[in-house]
Amino acid sequence: MIFPEKLEPGDVIGLVAPSSPVASDKIDECVVLLQNMGYRVKEGASCRKTYHGYLAGRDEERAKDINDMFADKDVKAIFCLRGGNGSVRIMDLLDYEMIKRNPKIFVGYSDITNLLIAFNTLCGFVTYHGPMVYSNMLKHYDPYTKAGFEAVLNMKEQYIFQNPPEKEINVLVPGKAVGQLVGGNLSLLINMLGTYWAPSFQDKILFIEDIYENIPNIDRMVCQMKALGIFEQIAGLLIGDFSECENEYDSNFLINEYIQDQFADLKVPVMYNIGVGHCYPTGSLIMGCDCRIDTDKKEIILKR
């Protein structure tokens, strides 16, 4: 997998909204924030648009912004404003051959999972499961989140992931494993199965996270993955944050209990309570890179 060029002070960041819209005054704040970090900002045309209420502009507009940012030689990295809904609508409108020729730092998560995985699968470069400008940096850019994000952006040979302070990584199935890191938002992963940009899970380290899903819905998604044999293909499983995932039927059977009930019989190493996802603070990961996990040390190492 190709690692894009590193981001340096004074470089241009392309700001895009592949999914849901952000209020114009908040975009102003996002631009100023990035400028105060020492970067120049090029704003995508769809960032200040709204279509059908839940999309940041028409599909063609949002796709054009991404294509244009990858084609623009001045743009060094592409940061997403937020997730939400709608990235799936632009997947057929992206110029993957051109994007493949112009690998760049691309950052987001949640609904952006479609793009993170597509650029891994179809274009051959790593992507960054990290904080988004509006969703995270504007209000929740705490020292841990900032340090972790900068560490993955500037990774040399390897990065040893550290969980947020006072949040311990839990081990469900012991062991060691090595494989390419793949995954992201569980709901998005389920929805992309069978598409041309869906990843291979064979011998991969799978990472999953989600938000606002009740336990029965999570169970349905996990059972679908089990029926497809995905958990028999992977080399290891990392379970991130499942924010506000409740069980209206039994308050004593919540996400940790569900994880222990469903994944304890896997034949590969499993760690959970990893502070990456829709949580504050949140850690960052490099999707598509080599990953080594060691449950004895509760260690997650990302490598070039």
Catalytic residues: 110, 209, 278
Q: Which tokens hold the place of 238?
A: 């990392």
**Rounded to an integer, what is the distance from CA 235 to the centroid of its chain?**
20
Within 8 A by CB and 6+ apart from 86, the residues are 18, 19, 20, 54, 55, 56, 59, 62, 111
> What token pair was written down for 30?
């996002």
Beta strand 299-303 with 290-294 is: antiparallel
The C-alpha atoms of residue 110 and residue 80 are separated, in whole angstroms, by 11
Q: Which residues of 24-60 are buried (b: 16+ CB within 10 A; e: fewer)?
A: eebbebbbebbeeeebebbbbebbbbbeeeebbbebe
